[in-house]
Chains A and B, each alone.
Chain A
């Protein structure tokens, strides 16, 4: 007892090296990875750095016996589809784990179907089971606004929200909840569930990517799969992105990934049908302009994919 009080009086003079703490926690790797692997998203990165700094300082304060209670870490990620919400959530769980705020650091990603049951008495066990699985880690609820359906008064979503709220409050040390969804719908969701809003400390908005960022993302994705774009191909893809952004159902990085998958398909076809039968490594790696220009976005001004299925069905 006396020893402790002695410690706390003397600790005003003792110094803790914040840099050393920072290095010890290994979060630098995660933050660097975040910087390198995620293009753009400036505001998101700033917020994550701020949160990481807060948590680190909090931890150092704890060592100095300046307790401030467990911080509320529940978060809400809003943004359009394909802006990297799930990826950032994955990194977030890693950061929280390295700082010791969650014990295991795994991410359990769920949607409404995993939480809400189909008949009376089905919802509570289902939600609880998901919560139990996520304990010690991060529970990521994608498209969280679907949980609440005001037009159907017999919907069981409200029950699920109630249980979530209770665990978010009582098991703050065991579980971090991240909600994700479109901005406007999440705002509506929070408006009708004020309890939810007040329990979430961090609201992070994910901006849309601009065309240059999308091109950089495309190059990163291709590099991961050991592909590359030729000079002409790069120009064509930049043009593709600009056209595709104006069309409906544009889902940022996800659309880019789909477009690249289709370009790979065309490249394979081109190589297979082409006259040149002896191929070098570079031929197998390069996506040419023609692989991209064959897209329906250029020919008809329609997105690829969905319309093909309809046409085939008609035939």
Chain B
């Protein structure tokens, strides 16, 4: 990844910035809560960009007023999964919208090996490309 210094996974918001501090996360959470979005915490050790099935850490948090409770939950998720990707999503449940409005990574493994580009030759010299995460060579739970 030539453009990605430090080989960091770039998914969601703020992923080209240095990791957010707790204070910055709190400010982002407050923005989500002010808009009335429900915040959920998710984790995974499968970093492929097409992997939409991250596990939820606890229930999505509806009807909160203050980000302190969510930050508490983020920290307990970091403690449980120190070497997983943890992201925060803010979900807008308005009818007709019903989709995540924000999503950003708040915890990542210490060492991210990155992706390999695979080329597959097809009939008529056609080449198809795919990316493969080095981390997923190992079984789930032992990847980082």
Contacts and interface: CB of A to CB of B under 8 A. Distances in A.
Given A104-B66, A135-B64, 16 more contacts: A103-B66, A104-B65, A106-B65, A125-B59, A129-B61, A132-B64, A132-B73, A135-B66, A135-B68, A135-B69, A136-B66, A136-B68, A137-B65, A171-B72, A174-B66, A175-B68
Report which residue of A103, A131, A132, A174 has the largest number of chain B beta carbons within 10 angstroms of its beta carbon: A132
8 contacts: A104-B65, A106-B65, A125-B59, A133-B65, A133-B69, A136-B66, A136-B67, A174-B66
Nearest to B70: A132
A38 B58 CA distance: 42
- Size range of the interface on A? 10 to 19
Contacts of A175: 68
Contacts of B65: 104, 106, 133, 135-137
Interface string A112-153: 000000000000010001011101110000000000000000
A175 B67 CA distance: 12
B121 interface: no
Interface of A: 103-104, 106, 125, 129, 131-133, 135-137, 171, 174-175
Nearest to B63: A133
A171 B73 CA distance: 13
Contacts of A106: 65
Contacts, number: 38
Task: Give the 10 A-B residue pairs with the shortest CB-CB distance, closest first.
Answer: A136-B66, A132-B69, A174-B68, A135-B69, A135-B66, A135-B68, A104-B65, A104-B66, A136-B65, A106-B65
Interface of B: 58-59, 61, 63-70, 72-73
A142 to B, nearest CB: 19
B88 to A, nearest CB: 14
Contacts of B67: 135-136
Nearest to A174: B68
B59 A137 contact: no
A250 B73 CA distance: 44
Contacts of B64: 132-133, 135
Contacts of B70: 132
A125 B69 CA distance: 13
A132 B39 CA distance: 12
B72 A132 contact: yes
Contacts of B63: 133
Nearest to B61: A132
Nearest to A103: B66
Contacts of A171: 68, 72
Contacts of B69: 131-133, 135, 174
